[in-house]
Amino acid sequence: MRKMIFILCIPTALLSACSPSGMQGNPAAVQAGAAIGGVLGAIVGDRAGGYNGSQFGALLGTVTGAAVGNAITTPREETYQVEEYYVKTYPSSSQYEHTSSYEPSSGLRIINLRFIDDNRNHVIDAEEDSKLVFDVVNDGDVPAYNVTPVIEEMSGMKHILISPSAQIAYMPVGNQIRYTATIRGGRKLKTGQAQFRVFATESNGAVTEAHEFTLPTQKRIKK
């Protein structure tokens, strides 16, 4: 009786530890893990304790294998462990996105713009690397191809370096991708205000709504 109770308690504990909402991983991976774990468990149990050991090993191996298969295939959300500064944006006043070369309108949206700098003062300092992070969401009715996020400095502030755009080959309907760009203040950067515009284009010429925002800049402080 004690053996039976012990055997029943083990799978219950292991399965409940997988996730608060049950198995979330790839079903094929979970099944494969269970099958492999069951076979290996039976072999080990048979060598250790004969038939009863084989049965116990198979049960334990099956549950453990399923748990491992679920764990390694469960989707994970990327999170930043550093302080994020959500920038306040406003619609672009430029007519750039309304030119004929950027029609039709895109089903994509840019949301959640965050600025993350090394010293957390929310300023682009000379000789400092910072990141601009935002999400691109496909809220349209069709997939988007060759999506190119674009970040421009509009005020003419010199000595601000922006990493080249990285193209997103394919975005199905409902897809959301987090995009990160690097912004560096050059050694000769002056104190002032830099104005940025962010939008994205598609291979068919469509363009998203543009967002504009400003960030303060700080020249190098001599020590």
Average pLDDT for the chain: 75
pLDDT score of 174 more than 90: yes
Residue 53: per-residue pLDDT: 54
Q: Assign residue 166 a region: left if phi > 0, alpha if psi is -120 to 50, beta otherwise?
A: beta
Are the C-beta atoms of residues 87 and 211 closer than 8 Å to each other?
no
Kindly state the percentage of the chain with pLDDT values over 70. 55
pLDDT at residue number 75: 43
Q: Is the pLDDT of residue 205 over 70?
A: yes
Coil, helix or strand for 125?
strand
Q: What is the pLDDT of residue 89?
A: 73
Q: Domain extents for the chain?
A: 24-73, 88-216
Specify which of 6-20, 74-88, 100-114 reaches the highest per-range mean pLDDT.
100-114
Residue 78 scores a pLDDT above 90: no
Task: Pick from 31-35, 67-71, 218-222 the range whose average pLDDT is largest.
Answer: 218-222
pLDDT beyond 60 at 20: no
211-218 and 124-125: which strand pairing? parallel
pLDDT of 160 over the 60 cut = yes
Q: What is the pLDDT of residue 31?
A: 60
Q: Tell me, what's the pLDDT at 169? A: 97
Strands 192-201 and 176-185: unpaired
Per-residue confidence (pLDDT) for residue 184, from 0 to 100:
97
Q: Given this model, what pLDDT does residue 200 score? A: 96
Binned at pLDDT 50, 70 and 90, residue 66 comes out as low
Contact between residue 126 and residue 218 where contact means Cβ atoms under 8 Å apart: yes
pLDDT for res 67: 56
Q: In CATH, what number does 88-216 get?
A: 2.60.40.10
Q: Higher confidence at residue 90 or residue 14?
A: 90
Q: Is the pLDDT of residue 204 over 50?
A: yes
Q: Provide the pLDDT for residue 40.
A: 54
Q: How far apart are CA 129 and CA 117, in angstroms?
A: 7
Note whether 151 and 99 are within 8 A (CB). Answer: no
Per-residue DSSP letter, 121: S
Q: Which helix (H) or strand (E) holds 54?
A: helix 27-73
For residue 167, pLDDT over 50 is answered with: yes
71/22 Cα distance (integer angstroms): 11
The pLDDT of residue 198: 96
Task: Please determine, for residue 96, whether its predicted confidence score (pLDDT) is greater than 60.
Answer: no
